[in-house]
Structures are given as structure tokens and as C-alpha cells.
Chain A
Amino acid sequence: MTEEALKKAARLAGAALLDSLPPPEDCDHVFAPVFEKKMSRLLRRARHMGLYTALRRIACFLLAGLIGGSVWLTVDAQARERFFGWVREETKSTSQHYFYEGESADEAENVRYRLPEIPEGYSELDVLDSANGQSFLYANDDGEILDFGYLTKRTKTTSSDIFFQTDGMEKKQVAVHGLPADFYLDTSGKIANGVVWVDREADVLCYLSGYLSEEDLIALAESVTQEK
């Protein structure tokens, strides 16, 4: 069978298949609300699909993954700071590694956090769940990403590590609800700023990154609420 003959026959078969179907406009169906909800999220994601793909590839100040402690052999032991049960270590590649060093919880903490209001022009793009937390991605029409997430204590079977790439960013101490927090300021004017703080009541690490000013990002951090 030649490739040319196969292509010709495949075209005829494809056309016959389409002819055997009803016209699309005659195929009415009322979809269930759960389908509409899932598709609504997919449509939003599709609007930013290129952005979403690139975001995962070239994240600047963003959750890069939950990483096992054994990877962190290149940590500069001097650059280590503690926030309640959490520790921040600066790696030699100028990334920031936050991990939980306090006592393990018996099971994953049942706490959830939300941004009660997102800045004007942003809509939800995706929600990423991990064993010990969640990350909420929002985007505006300019393709700017806002990322809010939190990480609860490790358990006996899960670790609580988070890694932020902060190359070229200036780290400074700020206050969220009057308590010390780490602010990462982009000095190039090209990437998102970020803030990392600990909810001391629950010992949960929270973070926000976005193309917002220091003042706006901290105000947004202070608006985060815990869902009971």
C-alpha cells in the first residue's frame, strides 16, 4: 500500500465519517453544572495557555516544587534563619529554601487559607494541590500572574519544603500584621515581587508573588483569611 493511496483513502474515509454525523447545530445538550464549572476553568486556562506553559518553565519567584532535604547539600549553613517551626536557608544558587523543622504533625493540618478578594482585573487560572498545602494562580489580561499559596507542617509521611528562586532580587525584612516577613523585591523591573510570612497561630507558611508594589503585596498578604 503506497502512502499516497493511503492518504487519499483516509481523506475519503474521514469525510464519510463526518457525513455520518448529525450537524453540530442539531446536537443540543444541557450540560451539568459540574461540567460547566470544569470547562469554565479550562477556558480560563486556555486563555493563558501559552503563559501557563511558560510560567511553569521560566518561573521567576514561584513555587518550584516540593523537594527532599537530601538535595540541599549546597546550602550555605551561615545563611539560615528560623521562623517558629520554619527555617529559611539560602542556597549557593541564591535560591531560598523554606522547610519545616518543628515537630511533625500526626496528619496533615486541616487548615485552608484564601484571598478574600483578588485585585481588580485578575481571574483564577488554576489551583494546585499538594499533600501539605495549596497554590492559587490568578492572571490578568496582561498575562501577569499572581500566586498565593500556603504550606502546613510536615507529617510523618510528608515533607514540607518549598523553594523560591530569587536570583537578582533584593531581600528585605517587612512586617505582615506587625510580625517579621521576608520581602523579595525585583530590581530589574521584569519579574514579580514576593512576600513570605508565617501564620504563627497555625505555624503555616504563606507566600504571595505578583506584579504589585511592596505596599499592595503586603496589604494583600494581610487580607489573607483562614477558613475554619
Chain B
Amino acid sequence: MLIYLQMIDAPEDRSKFEVLYRAYRGLMFYIANRILGNSEDAEDAVHDAFVIVAENMKKISDPKCPKTRGYLVTIVESRAIDRYRRKNLHPSQPLSEDFPGWEVPEDRVEDGLAKCILRLPARYREVILLRYDQGYSLRETARMLKLSENAAAKLDWRARKKLEAICEEEGVPL
């Protein structure tokens, strides 16, 4: 049993997590704080995000590559929005799926479809980026967003429908 346990507790995984933590905790706090506007809540969101990251370490190959940074940004944004929603949930509040999250200036990208992705509400953008930019499976995406697989599939479907609607509004050919 011990040999098996030591194999799955590979030393590179433990160091990878520590590298991620040291390198990105400041950036993750910055994003969470911009969304939540409160240092204490933002720190809690960063912690929530690292709990998810720790549970999915096998999915990370290089701690310093842009893909990993994109993944961490998506996860902390998702956790911050969840915290915001839980603290502010009220019948008149918009649903979390409509929350804008981190806003990217449109001049950052020229491609029409990419511009439309950046206009998506955060929850939809997150699932699109995790699935189609980062390449995670539906099951992996569900775990990262703390959803059931069924809910993640529905979210993916709704995100694509919303994206199609934005493209139609903007006259972006599909």
C-alpha cells in the first residue's frame, strides 16, 4: 500500500502546487478583489480557488505557461462570482450567469467571434474558455466550476446559444 501511495503522491505535484501558489496568489487576489470589492471576501475566494486547483493538480503540466495562468484566472473569477452571489442574493439581483465578471477591453482582440466571447457574461465565458481554449472535458469543467456534469452540459449549451445570439446582433458571420 505504501508504495502505491507514494507513487500517486508524486513530488512534482506537490512542488507544482507551491509554485502556482507563490506565483499567482497576488494576481488571483487582484481579480477577486476587483469583483468583490472587499479584501476579506477576496482572500476567501482565492482560498476557494486554490482548493479546486489542489484537487485538479494532475491537469496542470507547466505551472508557468499561459494556459495555466488562464485556468487560474477563470477559476478565481468563478469562485469570486459565487461568493458575490451568495452574499448578495436577492430577488432583484441578476442571476450569477448574467454577472459580467472581469471585463476585457474590446480593442484587445480583432477577431469578431473572439470579441463576442469576451462580451459573454462571466459564467458563460468561463465555460467556453475552459472547454474550448483550455481543452478540458465536460466532466473536468464540471468539477472546476463545482457543478454536476449535467449542469455543466446545460451551461455549455446555453453559453453557445448566447454566443450565437451576440454574434447575430453584431453581424458576425458564423
Complex A-B: 19 CB contacts under 8 Å: A6-B132, A9-B113, A9-B114, A10-B132, A11-B133, A13-B114, A15-B109, A16-B108, A17-B102, A24-B27, A29-B29, A31-B25, A39-B47, A42-B47, A46-B14, A46-B57, A48-B9, A54-B8, A144-B2
Instruction: From the candidates A14, A46, A47, A191, name the one contacting B129 in the complex (CB within 8 A).
Output: A14
Question: Considering the chains assembled together, what is the distance between the CA atoms of A43 and B19 in angstroms?
Answer: 11
Chain B residues whose C-beta falls within 8 Å of the C-beta of A53 in the assembled complex:
8
Question: Considering the chains assembled together, what is the distance between the CA atoms of A5 and B131 in angstroms?
Answer: 13
Chain B residues whose C-beta falls within 8 Å of the C-beta of A47 in the assembled complex:
9, 14, 17
Which residues from chain A sit less than 8 Å from chain B, CB to CB?
Answer: 1, 3, 5-22, 24-29, 31-32, 34-35, 38-39, 42-43, 45-51, 53-55, 58, 60, 142-144, 190-191
Chain B residues whose C-beta falls within 8 Å of the C-beta of A18 in the assembled complex:
66, 69-70, 73
Which residues from chain B sit less than 8 Å from chain A, CB to CB?
Answer: 1-2, 4-6, 8-10, 13-14, 17-18, 21, 23-27, 29-31, 33, 39-40, 43-44, 46-47, 50-51, 54-55, 57, 66, 69-70, 73, 102, 104-105, 108-109, 111, 113-118, 125, 128-129, 131-134, 160, 163-164, 167, 174
B47 and A16 contacting across the interface, CB-CB below 8 Å: no
- The A interface is mostly helix, strand or loop, or mixed, namely helix
A50 and B114 contacting across the interface, CB-CB below 8 Å: no
Question: Considering the chains assembled together, what is the distance between the CA atoms of A8 and B66 in angstroms?
Answer: 16
Question: Considering the chains assembled together, what is the distance between the CA atoms of A20 and B1 in angstroms?
Answer: 48
Chain A residues whose C-beta falls within 8 Å of the C-beta of B17 in the assembled complex:
43, 46-47, 49
